[in-house]
Amino acid sequence: MKYLAIFLSASAGLLAAPPPREGAKYDREAAKADYRRPDTVPFPDNNKYTRARADLGKTRFFDPRLSASGAISCASCHKPQFAWSDSAATSSGVPGMPLKRRSPTVLYMAWADSLFWDGRAATLEEQALGPIQADVEMN
């Protein structure tokens, strides 16, 4: 969904842009600059990066003990081998519980301004609690 939003935003920008003047050259580097990822990762003032926090986050991401069943971690649905998403049409939550949506990738989410498919979380810190607390996901 995030990529769809990016695509639609980019497409809308292209459609809204005036057509190039006759004989005008396409500036490829300028176009690439519009889509270049920022040089720095944004961190909230109350959750600045430290190596210890990064290590803890990585540990928790792969830790199934955060789920009620002790069998599901964040990485159960956001699999490194599938570009941090999954290969299923829809994901599975607590063992055997089919979910309504597939898991989006977690790549580049530091720059996202809305999270979850419906955009209900505004920050990664807010989003991280959702699957852990949802009775059909990690419970």
Active site residue ranges: 137
Beta bridge partners of 1: none
**Length of the chain as a residue count:** 139
Distance between CA 67 and CA 94 in Å, rounded?
Answer: 8
* pTM of this structure: 0.70
Whether pLDDT at 83 is above 80: yes
Distance between CA 54 and CA 48 in Å, rounded?
Answer: 10
Q: What's the chain's average pLDDT? A: 83
Q: What is the mean pLDDT of residues 78-102?
A: 87
Q: 25: which 2 tokens?
A: 């050259």
